[in-house]
A and B are shown apart, each in its own frame.
Chain A
Amino acid sequence: MQSDIKRLSLILLFAPFALWLLLLIILPHIGIVALSLREKVAPRVYEFGFGNYIDFIQEPIYWNTLLRTGSMSILVTILALLIGFPIAYYIAKIAGKRSRGALFLLCLIPLWVSDLIRAFGWILLLRETGVVSSFLQDIGLISQPIEFLYNDITVIIGLVYTVILFMIVPLVSTLDGMGDDMIEAGYNLGGSGFTVLRKIILPYAMPGIVSGCIVVFMMTAGSYLTPILLGGKNSSWFTEQIYDQFITRFNWESGAAFGFLLLAFTSLVVWLGLKLTGQTLANTVAKS
């Protein structure tokens, strides 16, 4: 009787989470995979088959876009890490208690406005008749207006700006857990600044670095608005491809296949990254 009640309460406690997992995560993905395995043979007639995946492999535009999205996302992740780490280190270790909160808030501010508004902000700054171009003209550095928009560099800048907070937060929280004495011990035992960074700070922050990188990479690869709005004539992003399949071309089957491929591809990259750095999900993401 006692154990029945225990089991019942366990089930009741677990049920919302299990339902959430099942209804919002597992079922849609099964649906996506099932959808992606349907081939359209005529209006309202479908057959089981791998045609949508074969289309993907046979069309270089598709897998080139996926590879491009992947490599640019990796670049964005690396940049976010390189820029985010010093900021996180400053917030966690150098800034005073009071300014720390303010700095954290500053990092949060961009999240208060939507993706769309942020992208338009960049457009206002970087367009040919925008703030940056006019300013450079005013101070005489350039004689002709310059278009900074509509190229891959702008896309990368915009993406780094959008995702960097998600790099900083886990880094701050791991670095916060590292006592100052750990760093001082590193120096005291004879380490140079570089040695301390490489042998002590970075290994200690590794859980935060890895989880930050995973989040940032996934977010970047899955982002839609920023690459679309800031991107140029040649910058296609894989999510745009998925959107086009679903919405413009009414080709849900192939859109589903693309969606699943994106998921598989990003998971593969994350797995490779973990292998290369010798980390596991359990001792990084779970810990930070």
Chain B
Amino acid sequence: MIKTLKTTGLIAALMLGTASVGSAETLRLLTWGSYAPEELIQKFEERYPDIEVEVTFSNNEEMIAKLRATGGAGFDLAQPSHDRIYSAQMEYDIYKPMDLSKINTEAMSESLLNGVKANTTIDGEVYAVPHQWGTSGLMKNKALAPDVNGWDDLCDPAYQGKTSMRLKRTILLGTAFAMGKDPFAAYSDLDEYQKILDEVAEKLIECKSNIKAYWKGGDDLSAMMLSGEIVASETWDSTAYKLFAQNPDIVFVPPETGALAWIDTFALPRKGKADDAAYKWINFVLEPENVTIMSNSTGAIASVKGAKDLLPEDKKAAVNAAFTDADIDNLKFFANIPPGVEDMEGKTLEKIKAATGSE
């Protein structure tokens, strides 16, 4: 008797819990901060009144962790970078293939679309399409640090205590390039890659005393740069563009060895429930006037044809101040991360962080 009572109670509670989910279609977007400006969401909801957009801001690592935890449920559209899809899909099976016929691929820049396709095709199925792209490189205050041109200049004793970097994989790769290596080529031979990582670690530990602090997010980086506490740093280009608007001396510098380029994509979580709404959102943000709104918010360049012309005026100026055509030809697109590399890189980063005696 008691048992039945308890079970009924439980069932009732569960039913109450599920009944509260709304009937109007909801598009649950898992994306980067600033990748879903309020203005665009409003516009989208006006056009599709029966779709409600819910946004969760995140980053590459957390996106994968969140989707892994649920086996790909809880979100309808995710925006990981192009190099983080293949291995995540192989290991955790969190995405579903995309139906390209439902996407206005005509509007997309062909080279970027093909690049992403090449990176994310598994068993003949495509798992992502490009959305925006940008680069990681250097930022300097022209007036105070005129000679910063390569990754290794952050370790130049001339700027002792006045440089910064984020202790993540970007700086490992950048430093490897600056040392004349090609880490992406070494992805196929992990022993070789480990050797490169060891050399990079040695270099970065040596460099530690030159660094003021490792930045952790765009906000603390901006504050240090604007206040003049640091004069040069590793950075995302979008952060540098924003600072350029406040202080024209602060410019983005594509390193001599090439800026590292990433493409943020659209991918469908495996247990997403609103695929149609997701495709509608993808096509919606490909529309030229929406591209401008988006770029204004993100600071990144859309993967559409003629994207540079669709940039807001101030961003256009910042990009022109940073990139020459040669720089763009020199871009190094992040290569797919094979399984195991994240662990190797993580260990290297820990080693650098834990190294002391150079304070």
Contact = CB atoms under 8 A, between A and B. Distances in A.
Nearest to B13: A19
Contacts of B140: none
Given A43-B91, A44-B93, A233-B211, A127 B227 contact: yes
B350 A250 contact: no
Contacts of A7: 2
A129 B227 contact: yes
A147 interface: yes
Interface string B130-163: 0000000000000000000000000000000000
Interface residues of A, number: 32
B212 A236 contact: no
B213 A15 contact: no
Interface string B183-215: 000000000000000000000000010011110
A191 to B, nearest CB: 48
Given A127-B227, A128-B227, A247-B61, A61 B212 contact: no
A266 interface: no
Contacts of B62: 247
Interface stretch (B30-38, B270-278, B315-323, B338-346): B338-346
Interface stretch (B118-126, B232-240, B282-290, B351-359): B351-359
Interface string A239-269: 0010011111111100000000000000000
B65 interface: yes
**Most chain B beta-carbon neighbours within 10 Å: one of A236, A245, A246, A248:** A248
A123 interface: yes
Contact of A234 (B168, B345, B355): B355
A64 interface: yes
A129 B229 contact: yes
A229 interface: yes
A150 interface: yes
B309 interface: no
B47 interface: no
A240 to B, nearest CB: 9
A91 interface: no
A240 B312 CA distance: 38
A265 B9 CA distance: 40
A65 B68 CA distance: 27
Contacts of A44: 91-93
A61 B351 contact: yes
Nearest to B66: A247
Interface string A144-184: 00010110000000000000000000000000000000000
Contact of B343 (A123, A228, A249): A249
Contacts of A244: 346, 349-350
A250 B220 contact: no
A252 B349 CA distance: 18
B228 interface: yes
Interface string B47-84: 00000000000000110110010000000000000000
A256 B61 CA distance: 17
Contacts of A65: 354
Contact of B212 (A8, A15, A43, A147): A147
A236 B211 contact: no
B328 interface: no
A233 B208 contact: yes
B229 A233 contact: no
B213 A233 contact: yes
Interface string B150-181: 00000000000000000010000000000000
A232 interface: yes
A94 interface: no
Contacts of B350: 61, 236, 241, 244
Contacts of A252: 68
B6 A15 contact: yes
Contact of A64 (B65, B213, B346, B354): B354
B216 A229 contact: yes
A123 B213 CA distance: 13
A247 B346 CA distance: 11
A142 interface: no
B100 interface: no
Given A150-B213, A249-B342, A250-B88, 19 more contacts: A8-B5, A15-B6, A44-B93, A61-B350, A64-B354, A123-B223, A127-B224, A128-B229, A228-B216, A229-B220, A234-B355, A236-B354, A247-B62, A248-B342, A249-B345, A249-B346, A250-B68, A250-B92, A251-B342
Interface of B: 2, 5-6, 61-62, 64-65, 68, 88, 90-93, 168, 208, 211-214, 216, 220, 223-224, 227-229, 339, 342-343, 345-346, 349-351, 353-356, 359
8 contacts: A8-B2, A8-B5, A44-B92, A128-B227, A233-B211, A233-B353, A236-B353, A250-B65
